[in-house]
Amino acid sequence: MKIRSFFIWTIAFASMASLHSFAQKEKHENKFDGYLFAYFEGSGDKNTQEQLRFGVSENAVDWFALNNNQPVIPSATVSSTGGIRDPHLLRSQDGSTFYIVATDMFVAKNGWGSNPGIVMMKSGNLTDWQHSVIDLAKLYPKKFSRVKWVWAPQTIYDPKAKKYMVYFTVRFHDNEKLDFYCAYANKDFTGFEKEPKLMFSPKYGAIDGDILYKDGTYHFFFKGNTKDGNGKEIKNGILQATSKSLQGPWKEDFNYLDAYAGKTPVEGSSVFKLNNSGEYILMYDLYTSQRYEFQRSSDLYSFGQKTESFNKNFNPRHGSVISITRDEARRLNEKWGGVPPSLLQPVEQSDRYHFHSNGNPIITHHYTADPAALVKGDTLWLFAGHDYVGGQKGYKMKDWLVFSTTDLKNWTEYPVSMKISDFSWAESGDAYAGQAIERDGKYYWYISTNWSGIGVAVADRPEGPYHDALGKPLLTNKDCFASSHSWACIDPTVWIDDDGQAWLFWGNRECYYAKLKKNMIEIDGDVKRVEFEGLDFTEAPWVHKYNGRYYLSYASGFPEKIAYAVADKIDGPYRYKGILNEIAGNSNTNHQAIVEFKGQWYFIYHNGGIQTDGGSYSRSVCIDRLHYNPDGSIKRIVMTSEGVR
């Protein structure tokens, strides 16, 4: 169906949280935690490049594409040409409304001959968007019947008029000059109040305007050029003009700002302010080489000539960067995925991140390992190790993470409750596996630290925060009397028996156990070793009880499988029962927790299944059901992608 100008379609697109790095002083105060980059793509299939995409960053340097770098809003649903270019985002003065403007143009299909106008979009809730197509020739034929190009629109709030102004580059068929025109948007942001008028006519013409307000001055950045006496262009790059008013007059400064002026062509410049800083970033598109670089400034008049590059997993063309809050980042991730974990993870003690599991792995925004579980009432608490990033070549684990759920599908993440740096004695710097348990209203989390020993932390709540209960290790390699290697004292698991006696099991290559005193922070008596026929122990012991019998499961061999043994008493003797779980996908190690939750038994483990950077050192926690045979033996675990349903 042909799209008519001003015909508004309302489309539901979940969560594009947006906020402009402001073209004027903002009246609302928000704490911003990251950045959103709106762009169209410069690589891949040309027929899909000219569509709106988003990338997100915590630090404005390292960028991650949302939606696997696929369009977040298909151009065919919002434009008349089937393509959009040069997207610009703005948050309203009060922070409650969000605006997008973009060039309505599909070069891959229609070429550079002409384009009709722009696309305008508006949202009041960051989820439901309405849009309109503005065709200048049809709406304003008296002035724009001969319009050739309508490029790179942007929106700015005019505090004097108390309206939003849309400005853009215009060229006519019978005039090669490129000038900036503007018009105030109507209240619905579906079109203009009046016919656009000339805003600024740079001496040699210009494109890609971007206006910021600072200290009483409007800074108008654009791609300009210099011509000789014969009208031949001899240089181009990023220039600026300044004014005390959006209405002008604009004073041009013919000193180029970008380090590539006259050397390498750039376009699509955009300037944004860094969060919690007085510094500004001038970024631009080096479109001939698929590079995006930037320079820094503190006053908007001069920019350092040192160029820096974005680290990114996409190839953006002309776009804009805006600041976003943590909540906005989470909503973006809920819809499209791809937001870096640092913007999802709670930081403040009162903050929580709620997410839904869509099968295994259950957590995909972190790399998690070595799960332990605690059931308290109708809630399952998951304690996990944290592999630092994807694609690691060795273990880098610096903190532990806590999650909870009441249905194994909807999860809550809590602020980091404990770091390896909280244990001053842990010179290894390695946050290895552990387990938490409750006793007398306190929660005790036993953790391992590679070669520095096993420690214990305590908290008043399962989510913490936890603090070192001893100020020294509870156990060290000296307690592992049958071992000679440095990482023997790891992987503690704790069990409180029906008589109130607490037990601790741990080890690598050799499995050890000991009683705990009632205070849970001292060993009671001798350390002993678990030995039985058929034992091939690697690490990761876990104790649970079913129908009066004790089950000791553990990692066996390498790559690791999970085996188990059964005893009538917690201290044995144990009888080997066989393999419980085969090698977990894409991971040399495995580490299990076995718990009963709401009448069902579950096997919690890790694999390397996060695509594409999962692996033996970048692992991910999974959950599948565990079933017993009538004789009390356990059926072999079936690992699934679907997980628990």
Confidence class for position 178, pLDDT limits 50, 70, 90: very high
Q: CA 65, CA 612: separation in Å to the nearest integer?
A: 14
Q: What's the pLDDT at 21? A: 38
The answer to whether the pTM exceeds 0.95 is no
Q: What is the DSSP code string of 321-361?
A: EEEE-HHHHHHHHHHH----GGGTS--STT--EEEE--SSS
Is the pLDDT assigned to residue 16 strictly greater than 50?
no
Q: What's the pLDDT at 132? A: 97
Q: What's the pLDDT at 226? A: 95
Confidence class for position 612, pLDDT limits 50, 70, 90: confident
Nearest-5° angle of CA 483, CA 485, CA 486?
115
CA proximity to 243, closest of 199, 205, 274, 284: 199
CA proximity to 475, closest of 521, 438, 510: 521
Q: CA 2, CA 4: separation in Å to the nearest integer?
A: 6
Eight-state DSSP code of residue 250: -
Q: CA 480, CA 419: separation in Å to the nearest integer?
A: 25
List pLDDT tens digits, range 522-555. Answer: 999 999 999 999 999 999 999 999 999 999 999 9
Q: CA 205, CA 602: separation in Å to the nearest integer?
A: 68
Q: How far is CA 413 from CA 8, 143, 294, 403, in A?
A: 39, 57, 35, 5
Confidence class for position 30, pLDDT limits 50, 70, 90: low
Q: CA 402, CA 422: separation in Å to the nearest integer?
A: 16
Note whether 620 and 386 are within 8 A (CB): no
Q: CA 166, CA 145: separation in Å to the nearest integer?
A: 20
Amino acid type, 321: V
Helix (H) or strand (E) holding 143: helix 141-144
Note whether 269 and 223 are within 8 A (CB): yes
Mean pLDDT along residues 188-210:
98
Q: CA 556, CA 376: separation in Å to the nearest integer?
A: 30
Measured in residues, the chain has a length of: 645
Q: What's the pLDDT at 29? A: 53
Structural domains of the chain, ranges and CATH numbers in brackets: 11-336 (2.115.10.20), 345-625 (2.115.10.20)
The sheet that has 502-506: what strands, in order across it? 493-496, 502-506, 511-516, 523-530
Q: What is the DSSP code string of 553-607?
A: EEEETTTTEEEEEEESSTT---EEEEEEE-PPTT-S----EEEEETTEEEEEEEE
Pairing of strands 62-65, 367-376: unpaired
Nearest-5° angle of CA 143, CA 147, CA 151?
115
Which of the two residues, 398 and 25, has the higher pLDDT score?
A: 398
Percent residues over pLDDT 90 in the chain: 92
Q: Alpha helix (H) ranges present in 292-431?
A: 326-336
